[in-house]
Amino acid sequence: MSPSNRKVLPGFSLSLGYTLLYMSLLALIPLAACFTKAFSLSVDQFWAAVWTPRTVAAYQFTFTVSIVSSLASIILGFVIAWVLVRYDFPLKRIFDALIDLPFALPTAVAGLVYSGLYVETGWLGQFLVPLGIYGAYSRFAVVLVLTFLGIPFVVRTLQPVLESLEDDKEEAAYLLGASRSQTFWRVIFPTLIPALVTGFALSLARGLGEYGSVVFVSGNMPFKTEIAPVLIVARLEEFAYAEATAIAVVLLVISFAMLVLINLLERWSKRYYA
Amino acid sequence: MHNAKHTSAAQQFGMHRATHRDPKLVQWGLTLAALLTISVLIVIPLVNVFYQAFAGGLPTYWENLVRDSDTLNSILLTLAVAPLAVVANLVFGLAAAWAITRFQFPGRSLLTALIDLPFSVSPVVAGLMLMLLFGLQGYFGPWLQEHNWKIIFSTPGLILATCFVTLPFVARELIPVMEAIGPEEEIAAISLGADGWQMFWRVTLPNIKWGLLYGVILCNARAMGEFGAVYVVSGHITGRTDTMPLRVEKLFQEYNNPGSFAVASLLTLLALVTLIVKVLLERKTRLELAEAARVVHTPGEAS
């Protein structure tokens, strides 16, 4: 593509102008408003809004469940991707397609159905609750629903990498006398690490910002199962806009850091595979 | 949504060549684990939605949807809000993809990265940002009230929130497609005397139609299902600003499980249709990209 396209093809200023206008109005100005509002607080006020025992508990809870569920996602997602790429079984295409359901299913529906499945009378709860496993209105419930949301990120990141693995490397390892597990851990696994890390980061980012499904299943108990976005909503309902915004800014900074990290990871893995 | 398309051809070859390597026991164990995970996390919830929705029989189901005027209003509201947001982001996606893939300008890669920004903003924060601008205490609040315009706690706010959350979908599907196709055919059309719109309707659009449709489908699924952002700006006025996902939550809070699951079943149906169309379109866009790669003889550039 050459810059001289601008002389040949029409619509450069129109399309770029519209793009910039639309993004400014819809995304950049609102974001700026968010930061302006937060900075209208004094440092002490900001700190008081952002760092209370309740908000700290919420950050801790949000991070803990997001990290635990992302770990669960990469383990389970790895097994699923491996099986889908390497083995054959009935209805494989349908199972493959269903992996994307968490992308397409509204989060409110996920929350609603998960909250019903794991209570004592639910389909799965009737077996699990007698064993002392509470998959609804608990920390575990949030981990479950976030794992549901995280798995497709991992599977869809791993699948193309697993498919592109060169057969001859495995063959060479085998011919050189490596055992099956040696081949896996020394030859296959290292090439999957960038994709696994990217999948982890993507599902972590999703988990940190998630609201819809979590409010259904967590029970929203302050200090125990309350996530940071719930606190924002609570502050808003008290018309404490500035305090709500302060917490929002903390979340925004975290998610921008995640975004930069994901971009770096993707660049790293591109170089890794090149 | 992460953009990872895989080739099913490679998948089919791949499984034949590598399948004999793992011992049968490992194969069965892993397959069982994978299927168990998919079943517990995805299939059982999916079946449960419809089971719960139809637990009272078909007539009750129908009544829960149609007789409850608030539910009916929420369906109508979603059917109004989502298409508007989709059209807005469709026009934006076309403009952005055209500017980014056909011209060089400073800040081009920054702009491409910025398009994805809404994906990394928590939906609740997105709603909050709109409150800060247009709410009663917001920057434009007093001005809006003076002119008797309502954005927050009314339909325009819902549309804006949905637009923000779904902003990247069409653009990020179109950019790789248009990048791969390249500008040659369009340059030819213009050189042969076509004007801009003729070129767009006769050359550009036919080339990108499947990729475009794919983006629209994904955008629509998210637009209809959005919860967090619209939750904040809606004000929860029953029958007026409750979209379908918000109605699901309200009925759930009112312990009306059959009603809640009835609405949820419609949204689940939408998700299933989206998945089916996605599978079909993925094959089409893959062919489109393969075609483009064959026409453009620059290996390594068309990815």
Name all domains of chain A by residue range, CATH numbers in brackets.
52-273 (1.10.3720.10)
Is residue B48 located within the same domain as residue B70? Answer: no
Residue A33 CA to residue B140 CA, distance in Å, equals 11
Residue A181 in this model has a pLDDT that exceeds 70: yes
Residue B205 in this model has a pLDDT that exceeds 90: yes
CATH number at residue B134: 1.10.3720.10
B223-274 tens-digit pLDDT: 999 999 999 999 888 888 999 999 999 999 999 999 999 999 999 999 999 9
The arithmetic mean of pLDDT across residues A214-233, rounded, is 91
Residue A205 in this model has a pLDDT that exceeds 50: yes
Residue A274 in this model has a pLDDT that exceeds 80: no
Has residue B9 been placed in a domain?
A: no
The arithmetic mean of pLDDT across residues A242-263, rounded, is 89
Provide the percentage of residues in chain B whose pLDDT is more than 70: 90
Q: What is the pLDDT of residue A131?
A: 93
Q: What is the pLDDT of residue A268?
A: 82
Give the residue from chain A lying closest to B264, CA to CA. Answer: A109
Has residue B5 been placed in a domain?
A: no
Residue B2 in this model has a pLDDT that exceeds 50: no
Has residue B158 been placed in a domain?
A: yes
Is residue B104 located within the same domain as residue B122? Answer: yes
Q: Which of A76, A113, A175, A254 to mutate to test the interface with B (most CBs of B within 10 A)?
A: A113
Cβ-defined contact of B249 to A108 (cutoff 8 Å): yes
In sign, the C-alpha dihedral spanning A250, A256, A257, A259 is positive
The arithmetic mean of pLDDT across residues B142-166, rounded, is 93
Q: Would residue A158 be called left, alpha or beta, if left means φ above 0 and alpha means ψ between -120 and 50 degrees? A: alpha
The arithmetic mean of pLDDT across residues A207-228, rounded, is 91
In sign, the C-alpha dihedral spanning B152, B157, B160, B162 is positive
Range of the domain at B182: 57-295
Cβ-defined contact of B21 to A33 (cutoff 8 Å): no
**Mean model confidence pLDDT for chain B:** 88
Q: Are A106 and B263 in contact (CB under 8 A)?
A: no
pLDDT band at A5 (very low <50, low <70, confident <90, very high): confident
Is residue B48 located within the same domain as residue B151? Answer: no
Instruction: Write the burial class of residue B270 (CB in 10 Å: 0-12 exposed, 13-18 middle, 19+ buried).
Output: buried
Give the CA angle between residues A185, A187, A193 to the nearest 5°.
70
Nearest to B30 among A79, A147, A248 (CB): A79
**Mean model confidence pLDDT for chain A:** 90
Contacts of B52 (CB under 8 A, 6+ apart): A113, A116, B257, B258, B261
Q: Which of B47, B124, B181 to mutate to test the interface with A (most CBs of A within 10 A)?
A: B124
Other beta carbons less than 10 A from residue B160's beta carbon: 27
Q: What is the pLDDT of residue A273?
A: 64
Residue A11 DSSP symbol: -
Is residue B98 located within the same domain as residue B186? Answer: yes
Is residue B34 located within the same domain as residue B68? Answer: no
Phi (first) and psi of residue A122, to 5 degrees: -75, 170
Q: What is the pLDDT of residue A171?
A: 81
Other beta carbons less than 10 A from residue B188's beta carbon: 13
**Residue among B270, B274, B262, B239 nearest B69 (CA):** B239
Q: What is the pLDDT of residue A4?
A: 57
Residue B227 CA to residue B166 CA, distance in Å, equals 12
pLDDT band at B12 (very low <50, low <70, confident <90, very high): very low
**Residue among B119, B223, B230, B123 nearest B172 (CA):** B119
Is residue B239 located within the same domain as residue B151? Answer: yes
Cβ-defined contact of B164 to A104 (cutoff 8 Å): no
Q: What is the pLDDT of residue B7?
A: 44
Å between A71 CA and nearest CA of chain B: 14
pLDDT band at B41 (very low <50, low <70, confident <90, very high): very high
The arithmetic mean of pLDDT across residues B278-286, rounded, is 84
B19-28 tens-digit pLDDT: 446 888 999 9
Is residue B77 located within the same domain as residue B46? Answer: no
Residue B56 in this model has a pLDDT that exceeds 70: yes
Q: What is the pLDDT of residue B303?
A: 37
Is residue B41 located within the same domain as residue B171? Answer: no
Cβ-defined contact of B48 to A98 (cutoff 8 Å): no
Nearest to B227 among A88, A151, A211 (CB): A211
Contacts of B155 (CB under 8 A, 6+ apart): B77, B80, B81, B241
What domain count does chain B have? 2
Is residue B23 located within the same domain as residue B167? Answer: no
Residue B42: list chain A partners with CB under 8 A.
98-99, 101-102, 148
Cβ within 8 Å of A, B 134-193: 135, 137-139, 160, 163-164, 167, 182-183, 186-187, 190-191
Q: What is the pLDDT of residue B119?
A: 86
Q: What is the pLDDT of residue A46?
A: 93
Asked if B195 has any chain A CB less than 8 Å from its own CB, the reply is yes
Residue B34 CA to residue B42 CA, distance in Å, equals 11
Q: What is the pLDDT of residue B295?
A: 65
Cβ-defined contact of B45 to A180 (cutoff 8 Å): no
B243-257 tens-digit pLDDT: 999 999 999 999 999
Asked if A1 has any chain B CB less than 8 Å from its own CB, the reply is yes
Nearest to A159 among B6, B191, B246 (CB): B6
Residue B128 in this model has a pLDDT that exceeds 90: yes
Has residue B1 been placed in a domain?
A: no
Cβ-defined contact of A85 to B15 (cutoff 8 Å): yes
Residue B187: list chain A partners with CB under 8 A.
5, 8-9
Is residue B108 located within the same domain as residue B40? Answer: no
Residue B25 DSSP symbol: H
